[in-house]
Amino acid sequence: MKRIGMLTSGGDCQALNATMRGVVKGLSNNIQDLEVYGFEEGYKGMIYGNYRLLTSKDFSGILTRGGTIIGSSRQPFKLMRVPDANGLDKVEAMKQNYYKLRLDCIVILGGNGTQKTANLLHEEGLNVIHLPKTIDNDIYGTDLTFGYQSAIDIATQCIDCIHTTASSHGRVFIVEVMGHKVGWLTLNSGIASGADIILLPEIPYDISKVCEAIDKRHTGGKKFTILAVAEGAISKEMAKMDKKERAKEMEKMLKQYPSVSYKLADDITKKTGYEVRVTVPGHTQRGGTPDAFDRVLSTKLGAYAAQLIEKEEYGYMVATVNNTIKKVKLEECAGKLKMVDPHDQTVELAKSIGISFGD
How far is the C-alpha of 197 from the C-alpha of 220, rounded, in Å?
Answer: 16
Considering the entire predicted model, what is its pTM? 0.94
- What pLDDT does residue 11 have? 86
Domains of the chain: 2-147+290-333 (3.40.50.450), 152-286 (3.40.50.460)
Average pLDDT over residues 172-201: 96
- The catalytic position among 136, 153, 196, 294 is 136
Angle between helix 207-219 and 260-272 (nearest 10): 60
Which candidate, 100, 112, 104, places its Cα nearest to that of 138? 112
Q: How far is CA 25 from the centre of its chain?
A: 25
- What pLDDT does residue 216 have? 92
- Work out the pLDDT band at 223, boundaries 50, 70, 90: confident
Strand 34-39 to strand 51-54: parallel, antiparallel, or no bridges (unpaired)? antiparallel
How far is the C-alpha of 242 from the C-alpha of 20, rounded, in Å?
Answer: 41
- What pLDDT does residue 277 have? 93
Sequence-distant (≥ 6) Cβ neighbours of residue 274 within 8 angstroms? 171, 172, 214, 218, 225, 268
Our answer to whether residue 267 is catalytic in this structure is no
Q: Is 179 in contact with 201 (CB distance < 8 Å)? A: yes
- What pLDDT does residue 190 have? 97
Q: In what order do the strands lie in the sheet with 225-230?
A: 197-199, 225-230, 172-177, 276-279
pLDDT beyond 80 at 134: yes
- Work out the pLDDT band at 171, boundaries 50, 70, 90: confident
20-29, 128-137, 170-179, 243-252: which range is least confident on average? 243-252
Q: Length of the chain in residues, anyone?
A: 359
Q: Is 3 in contact with 31 (CB distance < 8 Å)? A: no
Which candidate, 112, 104, 168, places its Cα nearest to that of 312? 104
- Work out the pLDDT band at 301, boundaries 50, 70, 90: very high
pLDDT beyond 90 at 195: yes
Which candidate, 336, 332, 325, 337, places its Cα nearest to that of 122? 332
Backbone angles phi, psi at 34, to 5 degrees: -135, 135
**Angle, CA of 74, 204 and 137, to the nearest 5°:** 40
- Work out the pLDDT band at 221, boundaries 50, 70, 90: confident
In sequence order, which ranges of the chain are alpha helices (DSSP H)? 16-28, 43-48, 90-100, 112-123, 148-169, 184-192, 207-219, 236-239, 243-256, 260-272, 292-310, 330-333, 345-352
Q: Which residue type does 178 have?
A: M
